[in-house]
Structure 1
Amino acid sequence: MTDLTAILSTLSAGLFSLIAFLYSRRRSGSLKDIRGPASSSFWLGNEADIRYQDEVGDCEFKWMREYGSAWRRTGFLGTDRLMLADPKASKHILHSAGYHYPKTIDRAQFSRLAAGNGLVAAEGQVHHRQRKIMSPAFSTHQVQSFLPLFHGTASKLVQKWKEVIAADPSGQPLVNVVGWFSRASLDIIGEAGFDFQFGSLDNLANPLVVRNDKDLVDSMLYPSWYDLVFKGTWKYIPRPLLEYVRYIPTREYRGLRSWLDNVRVFSRGLIKQSTDKGDGNDIMSVLLRANGSSNPKNKMPEDEMVDQIATFLSAGHETTAKALTWYFYALAKHPEAQVRIREEIALVRARAAGEEFTIADLDSMAYTLATLKESMRLDPIIWYTARTASRDDILPLAFPVTTKSGQQITSIPIKKGTPIDISLAVYNRLPDVWGEDANEWNPERFLDPLRGFKEASSNIGVFGSFFLATGTRGCIGWQFAVLEMQIIILALLDNFEFSLPPQNEKTKIYRRPSHVMLPMREGKEGTWMGLHIKPLN
């Protein structure tokens, strides 16, 4: 970034900061007695603590141990924010009163920068309409039809890794699995979503839609302090003006703008292809047919349809790839789990009599599912989310917290406009929910329903009590993603053993706090998860 750009950005931030300062002095009285950490910055409050931490949870876990499952923290120019890991309060926000807690302006605008005006960025009635139209494309029957695609892509990935191993003199190469999982999941979402062959596993990736890994990191990880200050002013900027922030020529915006512009051009061609075909089984074809309502209020305009493709590509393949990455990292640390999964595979294969695994077969693999849930619990891809109260409300708490005045409270009154951060990473490690071994790998917790969750109110989601598929804004494609991951996991564990290289400061994998939790290593550019892969006899 040039010095001129830095100066202009800082001046712009300063101008809006002056306006915002007048508003920020009106502190939320409902939070004044809630305990929390002292502000570490006049401009950013505790925002810098969270954004610049080495690893996800470094500061939030410490705050949870000191304050419990709910605490106050400061945001831009000293504004009060409520931070939650409490399951009951989170369930209220995400389920019971979901549309009364829209995303914060900065979070919503970032979604628009990354994926346009698709389902992830939409709010209120627009979100409800889009989700209603899109639901048939993600029905259980529709997802089940993609099983052959999942199996075929998993088999191709196995073959590619066998070729990598054969070319390595050690017979046990160190492979950066992040890129491989990204390529495999992109091939799957291309064919299942749009009947388009990306050919990523064959190194034929389409440059229009493959986001450069370095650009991804530059756009989302450790933004400059003046960009964080600037984002703090977004809620005071009219929405039409806010659309122009995508043209700011800094690293935080340049890569996102280029990628989204290219995808939009590419998407219009895909929509025409699906319209001409008419009877396709891919998600876009099903979506177009569902969008054929005669009632204009139930239709999705073309620009929204275009941005659904950007949403599918962003949310539909990178999150799955990162989830698989962290899963095999966990298994590399726990070889005993690999052995047990292979035993489970052998039992189910004997019952399947040579046929490809069905959904019933996958559902019967209880231990494999337990390990997937445990990995997603310990290493959540989406590690936090932010909402704003659109009305006065009272948040119920599953676990009482102690206030500054020494009272124990079981609910927190919330004023309209209060920003609320929900820490998924902390919830996933709450001892009150998961037990005293909450920080440890233990898939057995998901095999014993009496041990898994200490209270019924703690059960938030439909897959392992996580936020993955929870509430009005839950992931519409969660079944698709879980089935895809299961089949890839079984194919790889049936053919390979996984292990970590010797662990030291140079090889340590960091859980970097980007928009999603990124695996990274010192000295390696972009995302990195190097695992030794050895073929089974």
Structure 2
Amino acid sequence: MEPNHLISLSAFCLSLFLGALFFRARRRKFILRDLRGPESRSFWLGHQPEYVYQKETGESEFKWMREYGSAWRVQGCMGEDRLMVADPKALQYMLHTSGYNFPKTPDTSHTIRMLTGDGIGSAQGEIHRRQRKVMAAAFSVPHLKTFLAQFQVTASKLAQKWKDEIATDKNHEPILNLSEWLSRATLDIIGEAGFDFDFGALDDSDNPVTHMYENLFVDSLYHGPFDALFKSFWRFLPESILDLLVYLPRREYRRFRNYLSGIREVSRGIVRKSIVKGDGRDIMSVLLRANGSEDPQTKLSDDEVVDQIGTLLLAGHDTSANSLTWFFWELAKHPESAQEIREEIAAVRARIGARDFSIADLEGMSTMLAALKESMRLHPIVWELSRVAARDDAIPLAFPITTKSGEHITVIPVRKGTHIDMSFCSYGRLPEVWGEDAGEWNPGRFRHVDKEKQISVGLYANLLNFSGGVRGCLGWRFAMIEMQAIAATLLENFEFSLPPQTSETRIIRNPLVLMVPMVEGHMYPWMGLKVRCLD
């Protein structure tokens, strides 16, 4: 074939392909055409730059929620209309009632697969059901409570590291980067409790895993708006082609590839050690025993077992670390709340003496728990999730919205293939759920919650930090015990305050896959607080 003819044929095929994409996107648009929503300034990118790549998490969504209510229309790439929801009944329906009918979008699922392989995070449908059934045994409540002592050992070690740091500072009130310190502490915790493995992160050990996680989310997931356009084509590609994307000659895909290869090598060593030990109490040992007793048709494959380790490492340390980071930031801004918590901790300490706090002690610290919940409400680490309708459906609403034609509706019909963005950060600020002061710090709201008036959505305190329903986080209890243990230890020993607010210390809520604290213009996690030792 002549070169010119080949070029013409290629151009013609590309035009047909783009035309098919455009037709499918426009066809889906009509079913949402009467919903109100912001006007898009770009056919190609839609609102992607305004919420996926916005400067600060929630900037756009909060504005849209105030204008349009608990659900609204936004535009995706190439004119595709998408539904964005913060409504609790809609979220309950998609996460709980009909969870497997709203799977992850192809770009979301495959991005997770690039990072965690065939672990539970990327699994869909029946594969997810099978993996979750086996893994549930390792996350029983009695088993998770046995880890409290380990959490407290690491928390005390972190406290001593800070005291040493403060002692060497001439002002005895240094600015510490809590993001880095808490990430190292929670990595040590998930290593010991999850896999009976010492990463030595707090001891500055030259461990390859610590290096693998440095700036992982920033390097591999912060691509810019045009990456969204590229990923909008992924839904039309077969799995065999999607698996090759990791070999694209770009820095972020190279980071995906190197990270997954490295973490799999470490994970295989952990599995071999757990098998030899046999009777371990760590999460991986319990999982392996549960998997061994399962029917061969329902158990995890060897590759799936290996990839669960990478999944648990990724999900099990930076999520807790970031949640605690925002918690201490809020307390630094609200010293009266911090003082109330400190007095509560002191009262418990006076009652129990020198022994460590028990689970009952921590659960009895209602002031600290209310503040932790309030911080999680204002700062959900996973701030949004994207789903796609697997069939024609109708999504119910708790709070009616007004359409462009003036109709008040309580159900939104969606067509198969419609993309839905679940805005967890907007749900956490919804006045109809949390009150007129939903945008303000008020831990007291969690002491007077009328559960009968709330629609059950999240796994903990009706928050969505751990998602909910069929894909809710298995390790949420692990995370809550861990965060309470660390929070109590650090608040008993230290006082936190904001440093002078300059362009170099002012924190923004960066909307990566996780909501990461950063200073504008610096592409690495940073939460600098002044820390003063109390003893």
Q: For this structure pair, what is the TM-score category when the shorter chain's length is used for normalisation?
A: over 0.9
Contact 1:390 1:416 in 2 (8 A): yes
For 1:36 and 1:229, locate their aligned partners in 2 and report how far apart those are by CA, in whole Å: 20
Q: 1:205 to 1:487 in 2, by over 3 A?
A: farther
For 2:284 and 2:504, locate their aligned partners in 1 and report how far apart those are by CA, in whole Å: 44
Aligned to 2:22: 21
For 1:154 and 1:39, locate their aligned partners in 2 and report how far apart those are by CA, in whole Å: 48
The answer on 1:430 being equivalent to 2:430 is yes
For 1:422 and 1:525, locate their aligned partners in 2 and report how far apart those are by CA, in whole Å: 26
For 1:494 and 1:440, locate their aligned partners in 2 and report how far apart those are by CA, in whole Å: 26
For 2:316 and 2:342, locate their aligned partners in 1 and report how far apart those are by CA, in whole Å: 28
Residue segments in structure 1 that go unaligned for 5+ positions in a row: 1-10
Q: 1:356 to 1:126 in 2, by over 3 A?
A: same
Aligned to 1:132: 133
Secondary structure of the 1:400 match is strand
Secondary structure of the 1:279 match is coil
Aligned to 1:207: 208
Q: 1:186 to 1:405 in 2, by over 3 A?
A: same
For 1:402 and 1:382, locate their aligned partners in 2 and report how far apart those are by CA, in whole Å: 28
For 1:369 and 1:17, locate their aligned partners in 2 and report how far apart those are by CA, in whole Å: 52
For 1:178 and 1:209, locate their aligned partners in 2 and report how far apart those are by CA, in whole Å: 14
Q: 1:528 aligns with which of 505, 511, 526?
A: 526
Aligned to 1:316: 316
Q: What letter matches 1:79 in structure 2?
A: E
Aligned to 1:375: 375
For 2:523 and 2:393, locate their aligned partners in 1 and report how far apart those are by CA, in whole Å: 45
Aligned to 2:49: 48
Secondary structure of the 1:82 match is strand
Aligned to 1:511: 509
Aligned to 1:3: none
Following TM superposition, by how much is the alpha carbon of 1:205 offset from its aligned partner in structure 2, in angstroms? 4.5
Alignment deviations for residues 424-466 of structure 1 (CA, whole Å, 9 cap, x no partner): 000100111111111100000000123xx79322x41231211
Which stretch shows the higher mean deviation, 353-362 or 391-400?
353-362
Q: What letter matches 1:504 in structure 2?
A: T
Alignment deviations for residues 472-520 of structure 1 (CA, whole Å, 9 cap, x no partner): 1111000000110101001101011000012234421000111111100
Question: TM-score, normalised on structure 2?
Answer: 0.94
For 2:216 and 2:385, locate their aligned partners in 1 and report how far apart those are by CA, in whole Å: 22
Following TM superposition, by how much is the alpha carbon of 1:361 offset from its aligned partner in structure 2, in angstroms? 1.1
The answer on 1:168 being equivalent to 2:169 is yes
Alignment deviations for residues 54-78 of structure 1 (CA, whole Å, 9 cap, x no partner): 1011111111111100001111211
Matches within 5 A, 1:232-311: 232-293=232-293, 295-311=295-311
Which stretch shows the higher mean deviation, 290-299 or 194-203?
290-299
Residue segments in structure 2 that go unaligned for 5+ positions in a row: 1-10
The answer on 1:471 being equivalent to 2:472 is no
Matches within 5 A, 1:153-164: 153-164=154-165
Contact 1:213 1:527 in 2 (8 A): no
Contact 1:17 1:233 in 2 (8 A): no
Alignment deviations for residues 136-188 of structure 1 (CA, whole Å, 9 cap, x no partner): 11111111111110010000000000010011101000111111001000000
Matches within 5 A, 1:24-103: 24-103=25-104
Aligned to 1:420: 420
Percent identical among aligned pairs is 53
Secondary structure of the 2:202 match is helix
Following TM superposition, by how much is the alpha carbon of 1:51 offset from its aligned partner in structure 2, in angstroms? 2.2
For 1:461 and 1:294, locate their aligned partners in 2 and report how far apart those are by CA, in whole Å: 29
Q: What letter matches 2:363 in structure 1?
A: D
Alignment deviations for residues 96-135 of structure 1 (CA, whole Å, 9 cap, x no partner): 1111110111111111112111111111111111111011
Question: TM-score, normalised on structure 1?
Answer: 0.94
For 2:126 and 2:211, locate their aligned partners in 1 and report how far apart those are by CA, in whole Å: 31
For 2:208 and 2:413, locate their aligned partners in 1 and report how far apart those are by CA, in whole Å: 50
Contact 1:209 1:263 in 2 (8 A): no
Secondary structure of the 2:530 match is strand
Following TM superposition, by how much is the alpha carbon of 1:202 offset from its aligned partner in structure 2, in angstroms? 0.4
Following TM superposition, by how much is the alpha carbon of 1:522 offset from its aligned partner in structure 2, in angstroms? 3.0
Q: What letter matches 2:328 in structure 1?
A: F
Contact 1:432 1:454 in 2 (8 A): no
For 1:256 and 1:213, locate their aligned partners in 2 and report how far apart those are by CA, in whole Å: 13
Which stretch shows the higher mean deviation, 64-73 or 111-120?
111-120
Following TM superposition, by how much is the alpha carbon of 1:25 offset from its aligned partner in structure 2, in angstroms? 2.8
Following TM superposition, by how much is the alpha carbon of 1:525 offset from its aligned partner in structure 2, in angstroms? 4.3
Matches within 5 A, 1:487-502: 487-502=485-500
The answer on 1:481 being equivalent to 2:482 is no
Deviation >6 Å, runs of 4+: none
Matches within 5 A, 1:351-430: 351-430=351-430
Secondary structure of the 1:156 match is helix
Which stretch shows the higher mean deviation, 505-514 or 233-242?
505-514
For 1:330 and 1:188, locate their aligned partners in 2 and report how far apart those are by CA, in whole Å: 24
Following TM superposition, by how much is the alpha carbon of 1:419 offset from its aligned partner in structure 2, in angstroms? 0.9
Aligned to 2:198: 197
Aligned to 2:328: 328
For 1:266 and 1:51, locate their aligned partners in 2 and report how far apart those are by CA, in whole Å: 32
Following TM superposition, by how much is the alpha carbon of 1:468 offset from its aligned partner in structure 2, in angstroms? 3.0
Aligned to 1:441: 441
Alignment deviations for residues 382-432 of structure 1 (CA, whole Å, 9 cap, x no partner): 000011111121111111000011000111112111110000000100111
Secondary structure of the 1:298 match is coil
Alignment deviations for residues 27-53 of structure 1 (CA, whole Å, 9 cap, x no partner): 343211111111221111111211221
Q: 2:459 aligns with which of 459, 462, 467?
A: 462
For 1:300 and 1:464, locate their aligned partners in 2 and report how far apart those are by CA, in whole Å: 32
Which stretch shows the higher mean deviation, 506-515 or 418-427?
506-515
Give the number of equivalent residue pairs: 521
For 1:54 and 1:454, locate their aligned partners in 2 and report how far apart those are by CA, in whole Å: 37
Which stretch shows the higher mean deviation, 343-352 or 111-120?
343-352
Contact 1:216 1:255 in 2 (8 A): no
Q: 1:208 to 1:448 in 2, by over 3 A?
A: closer
Contact 2:380 2:465 in 1 (8 A): no
For 1:86 and 1:527, locate their aligned partners in 2 and report how far apart those are by CA, in whole Å: 31
Q: 1:185 to 1:79 in 2, by over 3 A?
A: same
For 2:18 and 2:323, locate their aligned partners in 1 and report how far apart those are by CA, in whole Å: 38
Following TM superposition, by how much is the alpha carbon of 1:214 offset from its aligned partner in structure 2, in angstroms? 3.3
